[in-house]
């Protein structure tokens, strides 16, 4: 074996890395068990507050190899929402509102008509909304100029009356993109402050959408309001430490009295925070260890004289003002900490402090115009504890901020005269007057820039700023300056978000999914292991060991990339177990063929692996291509499945081709022999005889009949599309005993105003899935609440059965259209990509055509059989996961077809004298054992998934079962005959005699 040492080294390195990263998951699980043991009482009940207190206490403490529990959690193999429970949301930043805002809320009738028309066009288009708006405006007013609508004060310097329509659209495009970026940053900060463990937020490329996953959420209403609310940017005057000091003295006395009375319990912290942060203040003259935005200095734009804040002096003053508070004995010293720029607290104590400040008697201590806000960015001390600064801001007469974000026209990151990053800001005339008054009254004092009640920056004013043009400078990096500019612009460009897709999974349903996933994985693994050992003897045992490496690598690599394991991801692993067998089958069948020639066992091993290599490579590349397209166009759980599938293809190739060969050679060297067959296996495909061309017309007729029947059935009853394809809302409801789905529908239909409503049993007899299209076009939070209220009202008839909503999902109409379009595009691209690859590999378009027609045939057969089953009352939805199954079958089926084509190519390369018709049957018979063994193995594994994988994956599993059967059928009776029919005028031939019965790879 060539490069043996390299393979061994690589295997050891990858194994060590996988073991290292998976160890974080084991440690995190053990810590969770310790926390539960700590919080469990004598009766076996777990106190969740006590458990959380335990976890909080070690959050920043080293628990494994110097890593804190927080770092362990960040590096563990996470569980997806469908396994852990939580909330999945896709938000869309509304370009309509942005365009309206840029137009100054123009009432021009043609402008409003164009906006309405663009919204109609968007339902059936993947184009950017701005392009559709430009197209609609040309339709409504062919000679109209957009500049007359958008050349206003807000767009000064960007759009003039002379600007062309294309130039206006370019500016709108940029503003929409900026608004999406600002919304992303705002939402990310909100989620970080929400306190969710391991949240995931990402922009969906090519769209104005943001995807958010929040594990463990138990208050969806709060999340909806948090995510859909508008950003609130404000500018506040700040009290200095000398002014607030006396009031904190009074607070300390109050807390002392409360502790004496037993109404307050503030325990001493294990590690004093003051020492850790005093060093931070001493070793910097710019307080870079604190929030770098907090040292920004506001200066006039006309002079551009950037007056830096004397941060060292400011920090010293702050420390002096609060030192008496921190040093005196009492509860205040245990709550607050001296920070370089003022008073602050440990992040974990902020909730406790907020509760204290909310007490009426505490509010009476402080002036009525004093309001407390926390800094958004924490400071990390030497002991890894996180602290945030507390700001006291001055309320106006009406309790509002002196200046709001609506005053800002523009803000952008720039550079000062010394080339340092700064932020330039312009305001509208009204805002400019208020800004001049605010800065003039606060020279030498701080002005806090506040977004959603968190302080992002508090620059010191150096002088009155008139004219509305100003710059903010300080110790910024370019990224920090860009972020602050985005925050300032958030007040200028209202960009409301709407939830276009939502899924909520309850923890009980998640635990059930875990159990089903583990059971199906173990059952699938057992089936594969037993079959391989029974059929290939000792060689099968080696293949099983390679399979164990395969699963280990998949989980380890997922952990390395901080990926989350989802239920479709488990399905991907189960499917990989079945498909990984294919490479071993190809190798062993080749080795058995070489052994029949009487070759020495060493040569049998070498030739078996060498001849199978190119076939395995071709088969894996085509399947990987389908997985990549699935990942690129899929979303949510489909992406999780695609990632696992692609990863499984790579790891199975490595383990089957390289690791299994290492094991084979080690076994041969030790025993001097190698068994990869038995009497049963030798006889199983000994007398296979068939003429595929004889059966091609009956096969064509059979396939056509099934497809026509299926699509007629679909026309009669309509396609059973899932919510993500047609839009609407769905709920999984569980009762404490069995209920007929038809009765539940009768109770709900009136509440849903007789809109398209479907109720069906979901898994167990006491569980139903409710689907309604009522208010599907309304994606607002109010509509969500209205539909949920209607559901609750309908279920009130079953109050004695304790109905409980285990999960819910919503897909807006526009999102559904996009999902449908991307599904079609994914299927087309998969077929085109495979056509090109097969033509490149086989240098013949007839092979590409035969393969792609067979794949298209497989897709139609799956759809047709689903429609036929639905006609007879066996109903499964066609949704994103269904499309994932079709694309997976495309990968599986072309895998099988490529193996046959490869054997045809091998014969054609030997001797070109015989007609291609004479090549087909020998090639099919040679590969027949491999086709049947691989298909049967995958079928058995998917059957296990269908039985034990749970209702969520049942439609996927059924589609896979149908696809495996018809994929193997099409490779034999569709793909190969089409190649013969399209090459019938060619005089291709082979030298090898035509076998009548043979079994090769």
pLDDT in tens, 360-410: 888 999 998 899 999 888 887 666 677 889 999 998 777 788 888 878 877
User: What's residue 709's pLDDT?
Assistant: 93
Averaged pLDDT of the chain? 78
Looking at the chain, the whole-number percentage of residues with pLDDT higher than 70 is 83
Averaged pLDDT, 887-914: 78
- For residue 589, the SS3 value is helix
Residue 850's nearest CA partner among 914, 923, 911 is 923
User: HEC string of 721-770?
Assistant: ECHHHHCEEEEEEECCCCCCHHHHHHHHCCCCCCCCEEEEEECEEEEEEE
pLDDT band at 495 (very low <50, low <70, confident <90, very high): low
The CA R_g of the chain, rounded to the nearest whole Å, is: 34
> What residues contact residue 874 under an 8 Å CB cut-off, 6+ apart?
none
Residue scoring higher pLDDT (322 or 972): 972
Regarding pTM above 0.95, the answer is no
| pLDDT at 160 exceeding the cut of 80 | yes
Each residue's pLDDT tens digit, 453-490 = 888 888 888 888 888 788 877 667 787 787 777 777 76
User: What's residue 707's pLDDT?
Assistant: 93
For the chain, how far is it from start to end, CA to CA, in angstroms? 21
pLDDT band at 828 (very low <50, low <70, confident <90, very high): confident
Task: Report the range of poorest mean pLDDT among 72-86, 244-258, 397-411.
Answer: 72-86
| pLDDT at 286 exceeding the cut of 60 | no
Length of the chain: 1001
CB 241 within 8 Å of CB 342: yes
User: What's residue 718's pLDDT?
Assistant: 78
Q: Judging by beta carbons within 10 Å of its beta carbon (0-12, 13-18, 19+), is residue 958 exposed, middle or buried?
A: buried
| pLDDT at 273 exceeding the cut of 60 | no
| Alpha-carbon torsion angle 721, 725, 728, 731, nearest 10 | 60
Alpha-carbon distances of 900 from 126, 896, 915, rounded to whole Å: 39, 7, 17
**Adjacent-strand bridge partners of 820:** none
Residue scoring higher pLDDT (313 or 367): 367
Each residue's pLDDT tens digit, 738-761 = 888 888 888 888 888 766 788 888
If phi > 0 it is left, if psi is from -120 to 50 it is alpha, else beta; for residue 233 that is beta
User: What's residue 310's pLDDT?
Assistant: 38
pLDDT band at 824 (very low <50, low <70, confident <90, very high): confident
Backbone angles phi, psi at 980, to 5 degrees: -65, -45
Backbone angles phi, psi at 792, to 5 degrees: -60, -40
> What residues contact residue 111 under an 8 Å CB cut-off, 6+ apart?
103, 137, 149
| Alpha-carbon torsion angle 204, 207, 209, 211, nearest 10 | -20
- Strands 297-300 and 460-461, bridge-based pairing: parallel
Domains assigned to the chain: 4-76 (no CATH), 90-226 (no CATH), 231-493 (no CATH), 506-715+817-982 (1.20.1640.10), 728-811 (3.30.70.3400)
- DSSP-derived letter for residue 443 is B
Residue scoring higher pLDDT (216 or 165): 165
| pLDDT at 864 exceeding the cut of 90 | yes
E-strand ranges in 357-487 read 370-375, 379-380, 386-394, 403-404, 408-415, 421-427, 447-451, 454-457, 460-461, 469-473
Averaged pLDDT, 787-802: 85
User: What's residue 303's pLDDT?
Assistant: 29
**Adjacent-strand bridge partners of 389:** 344
Mark out the alpha helices in 388-506 (DSSP H runs). 429-440, 478-490
| Alpha-carbon torsion angle 653, 654, 660, 663, nearest 10 | 180
Mark out the alpha helices in 195-219 (DSSP H runs). none
**Adjacent-strand bridge partners of 346:** 387
Q: How many Cβ atoms are within 10 Å of 165's Cβ, its own excluded?
A: 15
pLDDT band at 312 (very low <50, low <70, confident <90, very high): very low
Alpha-carbon distances of 82 from 137, 216, 560, rounded to whole Å: 44, 11, 21
Residue 783's nearest CA partner among 747, 748, 752, 742 is 752
pLDDT band at 860 (very low <50, low <70, confident <90, very high): very high
Output b/e per residue, 901-928; b: 16+ Cβ within 10 A.
bbbbbbbbeeeeebebbbbbbbbbbbbb
User: What's residue 274's pLDDT?
Assistant: 41
| Most confident by average pLDDT, 241-250, 630-639, 905-914 | 241-250
Q: How many Cβ atoms are within 10 Å of 537's Cβ, its own excluded?
A: 17
Averaged pLDDT, 619-631: 81
Alpha-carbon distances of 103 from 170, 631, 673, 768, 967, rounded to whole Å: 14, 38, 82, 48, 56
CB 931 within 8 Å of CB 968: yes
Averaged pLDDT, 658-676: 78
pLDDT band at 326 (very low <50, low <70, confident <90, very high): very low
pLDDT band at 67 (very low <50, low <70, confident <90, very high): confident
Residue scoring higher pLDDT (419 or 568): 419
| pLDDT at 987 exceeding the cut of 60 | no
How far, in Å, CA of 634 to CA of 628, rounded? Answer: 10
Q: How many Cβ atoms are within 10 Å of 529's Cβ, its own excluded?
A: 18
| pLDDT at 861 exceeding the cut of 90 | yes
- Strands 564-565 and 497-505, bridge-based pairing: unpaired
| pLDDT at 593 exceeding the cut of 70 | yes
User: What's residue 712's pLDDT?
Assistant: 92
pLDDT band at 323 (very low <50, low <70, confident <90, very high): very low
User: What's residue 193's pLDDT?
Assistant: 62
Residue 235's nearest CA partner among 411, 73, 105 is 411
Each residue's pLDDT tens digit, 198-250 = 677 877 766 678 888 877 676 677 677 667 666 678 889 999 888 888 888 88
How far, in Å, CA of 925 to CA of 920, rounded? Answer: 9
Task: Report the range of poorest mean pLDDT among 470-484, 706-720, 895-909.
Answer: 470-484
| Alpha-carbon torsion angle 45, 48, 53, 55, nearest 10 | 90
CB 502 within 8 Å of CB 781: no
| pLDDT at 267 exceeding the cut of 70 | no
User: What's residue 382's pLDDT?
Assistant: 64
| pLDDT at 266 exceeding the cut of 70 | no
CB 724 within 8 Å of CB 877: no
Backbone angles phi, psi at 969, to 5 degrees: -60, -45
CB 772 within 8 Å of CB 751: no
How far, in Å, CA of 667 to CA of 919, rounded? Answer: 37
């Amino acid at each position: 074996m060539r490069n043996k040492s390299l393979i061994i080294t690589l295997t050891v390195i990858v194994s060590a890395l996988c073991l290292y990263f998976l160890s974080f998951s084991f440690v995190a699980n053990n810590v969770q068990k310790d926390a539960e043991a700590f919080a469990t009482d004598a009766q076996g009940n777990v106190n969740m507050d006590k458990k959380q207190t335990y976890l909080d206490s070690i959050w920043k403490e080293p628990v494994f190899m110097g890593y804190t529990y927080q770092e362990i959690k960040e590096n563990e193999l996470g569980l997806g929402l469908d396994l852990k429970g939580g909330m999945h949301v896709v938000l869309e930043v509304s370009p309509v509102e942005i365009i309206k805002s840029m137009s100054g809320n123009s009432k021009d009738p043609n402008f409003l008509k164009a906006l309405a028309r663009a919204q109609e066009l968007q339902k059936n288009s993947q184009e950017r909304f701005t392009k559709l708006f430009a197209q609609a405006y040309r339709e409504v007013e062919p000679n109209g100029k957009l500049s007359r609508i958008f050349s206003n004060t807000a767009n000064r310097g960007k759009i003039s009356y002379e600007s062309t329509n294309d130039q206006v659209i370019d500016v709108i495009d940029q503003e929409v993109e900026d608004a999406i970026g600002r919304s992303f940053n705002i939402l990310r900060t909100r989620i970080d402050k929400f306190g969710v463990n391991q949240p995931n937020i990402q922009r969906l490329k090519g769209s104005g959408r943001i995807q958010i996953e929040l594990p463990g959420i138990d208050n969806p209403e709060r999340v909806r309001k948090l995510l859909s609310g508008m950003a609130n940017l404000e500018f506040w005057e700040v009290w200095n430490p000398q002014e607030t000091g006396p009031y904190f003295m009074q607070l300390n006395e109050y807390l002392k009295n409360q502790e004496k009375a037993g109404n307050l319990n503030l325990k001493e912290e294990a590690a004093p925070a003051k020492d850790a942060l005093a060093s931070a203040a001493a070793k910097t003259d710019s307080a870079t260890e604190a929030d770098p935005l907090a040292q920004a200095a506001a200066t006039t734009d006309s002079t551009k004289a950037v007056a830096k804040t004397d941060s060292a002096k400011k920090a010293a003053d702050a420390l002096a003002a609060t030192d008496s508070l921190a040093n005196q004995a009492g509860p205040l010293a245990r709550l607050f900490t001296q920070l370089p720029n003022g008073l602050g607290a440990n992040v974990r104590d902020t909730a406790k402090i907020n509760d204290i400040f909310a007490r009426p008697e505490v509010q009476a201590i402080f002036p009525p115009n004093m309001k407390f806000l926390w800094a958004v960015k924490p400071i990390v001390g030497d002991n890894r504890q996180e602290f945030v600064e507390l700001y006291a801001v001055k309320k106006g007469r009406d309790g509002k901020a002196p200046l709001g974000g609506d005053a800002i026209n523009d803000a952008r990151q720039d550079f000062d005269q010394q080339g340092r990053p700064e932020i330039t800001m312009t305001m509208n005339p009204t805002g400019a007057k208020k800004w001049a008054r605010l800065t003039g009254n606060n020279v030498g004092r701080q002005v806090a820039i506040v977004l959603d009640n968190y302080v992002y920056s508090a620059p010191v004013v150096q002088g009155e700023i008139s004219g509305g043009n100003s710059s903010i400078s300080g110790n910024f990096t370019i990224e920090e300056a860009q972020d602050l500019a985005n925050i300032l612009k958030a007040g200028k460009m209202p960009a409301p978000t709407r939830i276009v897709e939502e899924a909520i999974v309850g923890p009980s349903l998640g635990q059930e999914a875990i159990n089903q996933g583990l059971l199906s994985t173990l059952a699938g693994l057992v089936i594969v292991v037993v079959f391989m050992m029974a059929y290939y003897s000792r060689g099968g045992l080696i293949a099983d060991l390679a399979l164990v490496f395969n699963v280990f690598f998949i989980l380890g690599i997922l952990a390395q990339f901080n990926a989350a394991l989802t239920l479709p991801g488990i399905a991907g692993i189960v499917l990989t177990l079945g498909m990984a067998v294919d490479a071993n089958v190809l190798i062993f069948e080749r080795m058995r063929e070489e052994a029949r020639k009487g070759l020495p066992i060493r040569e049998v091993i070498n030739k078996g692996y060498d001849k199978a290599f190119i076939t395995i490579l071709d088969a894996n590349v085509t399947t990987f291509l389908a997985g990549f397209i699935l990942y690129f166009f899929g979303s949510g759980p489909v992406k999780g499945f695609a990632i696992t599938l692609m990863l499984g293809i790579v790891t199975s190739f490595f383990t089957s081709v390289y690791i299994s060969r290492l094991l084979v050679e080690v076994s041969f060297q030790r025993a001097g022999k190698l068994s990869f067959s038995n009497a049963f296996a030798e006889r199983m495909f000994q007398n296979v005889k068939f003429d595929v061309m004889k059966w091609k017309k009956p096969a064509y007729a059979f396939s056509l009949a099934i497809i026509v029947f299926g699509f007629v059935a679909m026309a009669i009853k309509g396609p059973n599309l899932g919510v993500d394809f047609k839009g609407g809302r769905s709920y999984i409801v569980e009762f404490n005993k069995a209920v007929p789905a038809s009765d539940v529908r009768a109770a709900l239909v009136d509440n849903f105003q007789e809109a398209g409503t479907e109720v069906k049993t979901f898994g167990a007899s006491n569980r139903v899935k409710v689907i309604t299209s009522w208010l599907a076009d309304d994606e607002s939070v109010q509509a969500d609440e209205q539909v949920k209220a209607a559901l609750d009202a309908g279920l009130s008839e079953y109050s004695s059965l304790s109905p409980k909503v285990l999960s819910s999902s919503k897909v807006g109409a526009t999102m559904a259209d996009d999902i449908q379009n991307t599904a079609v595009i994914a299927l087309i691209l998969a077929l085109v990509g495979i056509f090109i690859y097969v033509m490149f590999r086989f240098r013949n378009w007839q092979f590409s055509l035969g393969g792609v027609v067979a794949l298209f045939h497989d897709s139609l057969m799956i759809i047709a059989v689903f429609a036929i089953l639905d006609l007879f009352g066996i109903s499964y939805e066609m949704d994103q996961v269904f499309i994932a199954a079709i694309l997976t079958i495309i990968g599986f089926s072309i895998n099988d077809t490529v193996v046959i084509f490869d054997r045809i190519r091998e014969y054609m390369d030997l001797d070109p004298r015989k007609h291609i018709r004479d090549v087909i049957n020998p090639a099919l018979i040679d590969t027949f054992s491999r086709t049947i063994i691989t298909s049967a193995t995958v079928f058995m594994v998917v059957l296990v998934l269908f039985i034990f994988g749970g209702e969520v994956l049942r439609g996927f599993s059924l589609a896979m079962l149908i696809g495996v059967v018809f994929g193997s059928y099409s490779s034999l009776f569709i793909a190969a005959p089409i190649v013969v029919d399209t090459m019938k005028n060619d005089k291709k031939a082979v030298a090898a005699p035509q076998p009548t019965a043979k079994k090769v790879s």
